[in-house]
Structure 1
């Protein structure tokens, strides 16, 4: 805009030109004739609020909450408070003494009912603190065939029985295919009696604590054949070279488990959960189950190789 008014063209309106320039620059609202310091206003407002807070009387102490009488149906629907852990239920650091305690308890059991009661009362394994149920076993205790898995999962923890989820349903179909069932002539258990949080693998210490119980359980069942479902139960109970081998090398190979001077024939195979993830391996698992059937029907004689 020219600074000399005498040089302006005829009819030029300086005020209108200024307004157009303001609009082009984004100024569309007139707030005040004089500039205001908004930062100073904000600081004064904060100072006034702080002064009012200091001068306000302290709040009166809060009294007890009044009792509320709920109708019977509402009181029944209200969830019960979570039970607090007693000193005997608090988590403990497992030691060798814990393993010795489990061993002594297991050896003292003369029947399966006694063993189950001892396991349910045993507080040496911290897995019990996070599990809903103790998963002892399922099936016919007089069976010649015993199947041993690793640990309960979510469904097993809820129902308190081993192998009741999808993998358990597959296991039932596999047993039925060779003429066996848990309700008639098969017995199923796990090395671990409580679900590990998040279905994680049991630690070596947890396996060592539960091992005396499952060994005593096998001894009381006295099966002609033990089928290990997966590598973990085979490693936990057989030890030795089995610890270093995967299930692909272990499966289908005859093993012996010695308990109290007696030797039990054992046959590792794939875990049903693995078969759900890897259906191509079902053929090999079927071969293992047929081998187990022939062994049991031949009076405990190994089938010809």
Structure 2
């Protein structure tokens, strides 16, 4: 324990230092200020934070589907008409399907010597699920009857487009292209002797050509069969003067079947 003399001696020494101008307390040992500066300089920098890699956001385009290739695969796998109809019903790449009530596949007698390929069902055909109905069917029946054929018993009928068209401009080239494999397989499974192409869409699908006025009346070949382009019943109802040409085409068909 410090004595009173030591206390007053220490206090007197402190007061003397204050009188000399000392204004801060010093440690008992010497301090090297230059060494402190070096330590500050040598202090490691804070760890660098790396920015996260930039990930581009937004819409990612789905892979494009080759609808024609999908149609070809589906059609080739069908071993009979029932399987082909089911494959066509499952086909989801044609926008026309979304606006249709029914799939129009075929009508008449499967296995007949004559197959008629029409263009597309109209509103009434879409409702009933048949290629030709109403006045069109009645006129077609009379035309065939004139050469000894029956629409119900001796002719097999289908259309290129199994769904009704949404506008008067007709199906697009892409829509016809994706239906072509189904048409080819349909003809192969039906096995007719001759094929009647009624209208430009049918000629496009089978022959790759349009211009029914120029093509009609002349035998061609498609799918390994003789084909006869003709005006469809709807055209004949709008332009009765073309019935003479249609009659000439029917006589050609009758002669080929003889």
Q: Please identify, of 165-174 and 210-219, the stretch whose mean Cα deviation from structure 2 is larger.
A: 165-174
1:250 is the counterpart of 2:215: yes
Matches for 1:6-85 after TM superposition, within 5 Å:
none
2 CA distance for matches of 1:122 and 1:195?
15
Matches for 1:127-276 after TM superposition, within 5 Å:
127-239=96-208, 242-243=209-210, 246-258=211-223, 263-276=224-237
Contact 1:142 1:221 in 2 (8 A): yes
Deviation (angstroms), 1:96 = 5.9
Deviation (angstroms), 1:101 = 0.5
1:295 is the counterpart of 2:243: no
Out of 76, 86, 107, the position equivalent to 1:107 is: 76
Contact 2:140 2:151 in 1 (8 A): no
How many pairs align?
197
CA deviation vs aligned residue, 1:216-263 (integer Å, no higher than 9, x gap): 000111111101111221122211xx34xx2111000110013xxxx1
Deviation (angstroms), 1:95 = 5.8
Contact 1:252 1:267 in 2 (8 A): yes
1 CA distance for matches of 2:80 and 2:108?
16
Matches for 1:272-287 after TM superposition, within 5 Å:
272-287=233-248
RMSD across aligned positions (CA): 1.6
Contact 1:253 1:267 in 2 (8 A): yes
TM-score between the two structures when normalised by the length of structure 1? 0.62
- CA distance change for structure 1 residues 282 and 96 in 2, over 3 Å: closer, same or farther? farther
Secondary structure of the corresponding residue to residue 206 of structure 2: helix
CA deviation vs aligned residue, 1:196-220 (integer Å, no higher than 9, x gap): 1145401111111111111100011
- CA distance change for structure 1 residues 108 and 270 in 2, over 3 Å: closer, same or farther? same
Secondary structure of the corresponding residue to residue 249 of structure 1: helix
Secondary structure of the corresponding residue to residue 267 of structure 1: strand
- CA distance change for structure 1 residues 95 and 271 in 2, over 3 Å: closer, same or farther? farther
Secondary structure of the corresponding residue to residue 268 of structure 1: strand
Q: Give the unaligned 5+ runs of structure 2.
A: 1-61
Kindly report structure 1 stretches of 4+ aligned residues shifted beyond 4 Å: 93-96
Out of 81, 86, 90, the position equivalent to 1:117 is: 86
Secondary structure of the corresponding residue to residue 202 of structure 1: coil
> What is the match of residue 4 of structure 2?
none
- CA distance change for structure 1 residues 270 and 290 in 2, over 3 Å: closer, same or farther? same
TM-score between the two structures when normalised by the length of structure 2? 0.73
2 CA distance for matches of 1:254 and 1:136?
25
Out of 66, 77, 82, the position equivalent to 1:97 is: 66
Contact 1:149 1:233 in 2 (8 A): yes
